[in-house]
Amino acid sequence: MWLNIKTYDQYKDVYRESRENRLDFWEHEAGTYYWRKRWDKVHSGSFKKGDIKWFEGGKLNVTENALDRHLNTIGSKTAFIFEPNHPDSFRRTITYRQLHEDVCRFANVLESKGIQKGDRVCIYMAMTPELVISALACARIGAVHSIVFAGFSAQSLAERIQDCDAKMLITNDGLRRGDKHVPLKDISDEALQNCPSVDHVIVCQRTNRDIEWVEGRDEWWHLLIRNASKHHEAVEMDAEDPLFILYTSGSTGKPKGQMHTCGGYMVYTSYTFRNVFQVAENDIYWCTADAGWITGHSYIIYGPLFNGATGIIFEGTPTYPDPGRFWEVVDKYKVTHFYTAPTAIRALMKEDLSYVKKYDLSSLKVLGTVGEPINEEAWHWYHDQIGNGNCPIVDTWWQTETGGIMISALAGVTPEKPGFATLPLPGIEPALLDENGKLIEGNGVEGNLCIKHPWPGITRSIWGDHDRYLETYMKPYKGYYFTGDGCKRDENGFYRITGRVDDVLNVSGHRLGTAEIENAIDEHDNVVESAVVGYPHDVKGQGIYAFMICEDEPNNGETFEKEVRDLVTKIIGPIAKPDKMMVVPGLPKTRSGKIMRRILRSIAANDLENIGDTSTLLDPAVVEEIKSRQA
Ligand code: WT7
């Protein structure tokens, strides 16, 4: 029987049991899936060594659990409702049976193009069912998918393709998001000039615009699929074989390809989806994320399908054609579960309430948030205006690296508290450590958030760079997994995430490394050096502030700023554009040459009173100069 926690007391019991018998707990959970062969060993490895394995020796294919297993029971149930960018465009629903057929067809197409188990396939697509079908078809043949968010630039796409040596790229001719058009095929063509590993490009028609065509390399999705068989025998995978790679930003260097594996990821996403959201048989679940991020992977594609849920694939934005778009969709499909980012809530909160009141939201039962801390004001607006005061809110804390939700209320089961992710899921033990690596015990405390024991959903490595994996997560606190987040534990043991303690920004729920943005800015001919920090932004959570030393003082500040924005857009993508910029004569550096970001953060936040001690700086006068420019 699948574990489905229904009361707070049961949560407490299960939590205790999971703590006392951690491996039994996970073994029991794993036992409810379809394995072609049961595992030999539940778990091995440790954070110390960074060699974590789950369900070793087990054989399975995750798509048999997401699709085949449901055919005899809920084959005619809707797996996905597709809602296009424009409300008047063609919409459709896809049953589990149809999805299974589509995935099998496309799996056959992939194999006919020579894609085999272990090969990497890059997916750069609009939020349409074909994106989901592509990912699942890869999983079915054992190919490793790497989905790249379709807002990234050609250069970012190329970097990700090169890093994992993808053999194939699946894309669209273009996409529309709100009133914007993104020429995906043109961007792909540009990226592929520097990607010799890719010999096949499959193009799925979406915008019908004119595109360039490379004979022998490019092929249309609809032509390939036409003659493909709808039967496909899933390829048998080891539990620890890679399922996908997903790139995420770190505090230094290039994006890190997080590698998730088949068995553990399946067990973890499925377990967390079921218990956090509490979706019942006829519910309509909507996660508004893009499949290019981990939220889309775990809680649009995999978690819901393992549980036989009905989900929505939404191509649009919260504000197109108007800021009532989300609520219109909730009303139209009688959505019961709605999962979105605080940044979207804050943006919609600023709009006239009539955009909410126009629609009937009474179908809603559960609300969720993810990606960044939610401020109390936004929490209350969400609770009162959207949930009509009677929907539990699950504030779900997790990361690309964790695979699935780690700290969260279970909807309607465990208590909630505004601004708090609340309690860990059974199987997860958070720990707070201080700067010196000492464990902070008791309640009413604050520290760096770590996790005590491996769980099945944890990333197993950074693609091609296991040392970096060890450095980033395992070395900072020996014997623990380090999350990079700061965290409070209140008097009742509830957790509140306070934000990153490293040089990672969270802009509108998107994770960006300051180093990445600085590298892009430094490409400008006139920029000698730059330092990027975050500052509080009332919609985005964090805004991007860039301090730059220039060779020559720009004669036109506006033109210069536009050049920098365009450059960052070209190199990374529009999400990384600085909101504010300042040309400075120097940066506050320690004698060893390290930039004191703490000082820049205070200046960016306009908190000039609390800059703190500057006596250890190489040149304290620089701070006064920057302050005067800010004022
Ligand atoms: C970082 C992970 C988890 C999927 C989306 C983001 C922040 C995430 C919360 C939350 C406060 C949160 C953390 C984390 N974060 N959820 N509920 N409350 N902060 O995944 O891009 O890997 O980013 O997002 O800082 O470390 P990601």
Give the domain CATH number at 147: 3.40.50.980
What's the mean pLDDT in 402-425?
98
Write the DSSP symbol of residue 541. Answer: E
> Residue 487: what are its φ and ψ, rounded to 5°?
-155, 145
- Asked if residue 541 is part of any domain, the answer here is yes
398 CA to middle of ligand 1, Å?
5
Ligand 1 neighbour 290 (Cβ under 6 A): no
Asked if 481 contacts 474 with a C-beta cutoff of 8 angstroms, the reply is yes
Specify whether the CB–CB gap between 117 and 143 falls below 8 A.
yes
pLDDT greater than 80 at residue 273: yes
Q: Quote the ligand 1 centre to 373 CA distance (angstroms).
A: 8
| Rounded (10°) CA dihedral 88, 94, 95, 98 | 150
What is the Cα–Cα distance from 372 to 344, expressed in whole angstroms?
11
573 Cβ below 6 A of ligand 1: no
Position 124 in a domain = yes
561: containing domain: 507-630
Mutate to test the pocket of ligand 1, among 370, 428, 498, 507 (most ligand atoms within 8 A of CB): 370
C-alpha separations of 610 from 386, 601, 606, 613 in Å? 38, 10, 9, 9
Choice from 399, 498, 505 to test ligand 1 binding pocket (greatest atom count within 8 A of CB): 399
Contact 397 CB / ligand 1 (< 6 Å): yes
**Predicted local confidence at residue 592, as pLDDT:** 82
Query: How far is ligand 1, taken at its centre, from the CA of residue 419, in Å?
Result: 13
In a domain, 460, yes or no: no
| Residue 24 lies inside a defined structural domain of this protein | no
Look at ligand 1, atom 21, and give the residue with the nearest C-alpha.
Answer: 511
Ligand 1 within 6 A of CB of 247: no
Q: Is 160 within 8 Å of 145 (Cβ atoms)? A: no
The verdict on the CB of residue 249 being under 6 Å from ligand 1 is no
Q: Is the pLDDT of residue 251 over 90?
A: no
Going from the Cα of 292 to the center of ligand 1, the distance in angstroms, rounded, reads: 15
Alpha helices in 37-178 (DSSP H): 62-66, 71-74, 96-112, 129-141, 154-164
Q: Which of 485, 487, 496 to mutate to test the pocket of ligand 1 (most atoms within 8 A of CB)?
A: 485
State whether the beta carbon of 189 lies less than 6 angstroms from ligand 1. Answer: no
Lowest mean pLDDT among 230-239, 512-521, 598-607, 608-617: 608-617
CA of 509 to the centre of ligand 1 (A): 7
Cα 341 to middle of ligand 1, angstroms: 10
- Residue at a domain's end among 207, 235, 263: 235
Distances (CA, A) of 124 to 35, 148, 183, 214, 514: 31, 5, 11, 18, 24
pLDDT digits (tens, 9 = 90+) for 172-188: 999 999 999 999 999 99
Q: Is 400 in the pocket of ligand 1 (CB under 6 A)?
A: yes
Domain-ending residue, one of 208, 235, 262: 235
Cα(397) to ligand 1 centroid in Å equals 6
Distance of CA 74 from the midpoint of ligand 1 (Å): 33
Do the Cβ atoms of 415 and 8 come closer than 8 Å? yes
Question: pLDDT value at position 85?
Answer: 98
pLDDT value of position 616 = 82
Q: Which of the four pLDDT bands, split at 50, 70 and 90, describes residue 610?
A: confident
Percentage of the chain beyond pLDDT 90 is 93
Mean pLDDT for all residues in the chain: 96
Mean pLDDT of 558-584: 96
The pLDDT-based confidence of 614 (bands split at 50, 70, 90) is confident
What is the predicted pLDDT for the residue at 254? 85
Does residue 28 fall inside a structural domain?
no
- Minimum CA distance residue for ligand 1 atom 1: 399
Helix then strand then coil, % of the chain, to nearest 5: 35, 25, 40
**Ligand 1: which of 256, 272, 372 to mutate, most ligand atoms within 8 Å of CB?**
372
Q: How far apart are the first and last CA of the chain?
A: 63
Average pLDDT over residues 77-101: 98
Distance 178 CA to ligand 1 centre (A): 25
Percent of the chain with pLDDT over 70: 100
Ligand 1 closest atom vs CA 369 = 17
Check if 461 has its Cβ closer than 6 Å to any atom of ligand 1.
no
Task: List, for residues 9-22, the tens digit of each pLDDT value.
Answer: 999 999 999 999 99
- Taking the CA of residue 500 as reference, the ligand 1 atom at the shortest distance is 25
Determine the average pLDDT of the residues in 296-300: 98
Q: Which of 175, 204, 235 is the last residue of a domain?
A: 235
Answer yes or no: is pLDDT of 619 > 90: no
Cα–Cα dist 160/191, whole Å = 10
* 484 CA: nearest ligand 1 atom: 26
The structure tokens listed for 602 are: 């205070």
**pLDDT tens digits for range 366-404:** 999 999 999 999 999 999 999 999 999 999 999 999 999
395 Cβ closer than 6 Å to some ligand 1 atom: yes
- CA separation (Å) from 160 to 143, 217, 509, 522? 16, 19, 21, 21
**Of the listed ranges 27-31, 136-140, 499-503, the one predicted with least confidence:** 499-503
How far, in Å, from the CA of 370 to the mean position of ligand 1? Answer: 6
Whether residue 123 lies inside any domain: the answer is: yes
- Give the rounded distance of the alpha carbon of 396 from its chain centre: 12
Question: Can you tell me the mean pLDDT for 102-128?
Answer: 98
In a domain, 181, yes or no: yes
Which of the four pLDDT bands, split at 50, 70 and 90, describes residue 231?
very high
Q: Rounded to an integer, what distance in angstroms lies between the CA atom of residue 26 and that of residue 448? A: 26
Q: Residue of the nearest CA to atom 24 in ligand 1? A: 371
451: CA distance to ligand 1 center in Å? 15
Cα of 577 vs centre of ligand 1, distance in Å, is 20
Q: What is the pLDDT of residues 437-496, one digit of tens each?
A: 999 999 999 999 999 999 999 999 999 999 999 999 999 999 999 999 999 999 999 999
Task: State which ligand 1 atom lies nearest to the alpha carbon of 421.
Answer: 17
Number of domains within the chain = 2
Rounded average pLDDT over 101-113: 98
**Residue 343 placed within a domain:** no
Crossing angle of helices 597-604 and 621-630, rounded to 10°: 20
| CA–centroid distance, residue 372 to ligand 1 (Å) | 5
Q: What is the pLDDT of residue 617?
A: 86
Average pLDDT of the segment spanning 113-125: 98
- pLDDT tier, 535 (very low <50, low <70, confident <90, very high otherwise): very high
Q: Is 541 in the pocket of ligand 1 (CB under 6 A)?
A: no
pTM of the model: 0.96
Q: Is any ligand 1 atom within 6 A of the Cβ of residue 289?
A: no
Ligand 1 within 6 A of 348 CB?
no
Q: Is 42 touching ligand 1 by the criterion CB < 6 Å?
A: no
Q: Which two tokens stand for residue 257?
A: 């390809």
Q: What is the pLDDT of residues 322-345, one digit of tens each?
A: 999 999 999 999 999 999 999 999
Q: SS3 for 547?
A: strand
What is the Å distance from ligand 1's center to 485 Cα?
A: 9
Average pLDDT over residues 226-246: 98
Q: Please state, in angstroms and rounded to a whole number, the distance separating the CA atoms of residues 259 and 513.
A: 19
Query: 252 pLDDT exceeds 80?
Result: no
**Phi and psi torsions of 515, nearest 5°:** -60, -40
The CATH number of the domain where 565 resides is what?
Answer: 3.30.300.30
> Rounded mean pLDDT of 94-102?
98
Tell which one of 398, 450, 458 to mutate to probe ligand 1, the residue whose CB is within 8 A of the most ligand atoms: 398
Between CA 175 and CA 523 the distance in angstroms is 29
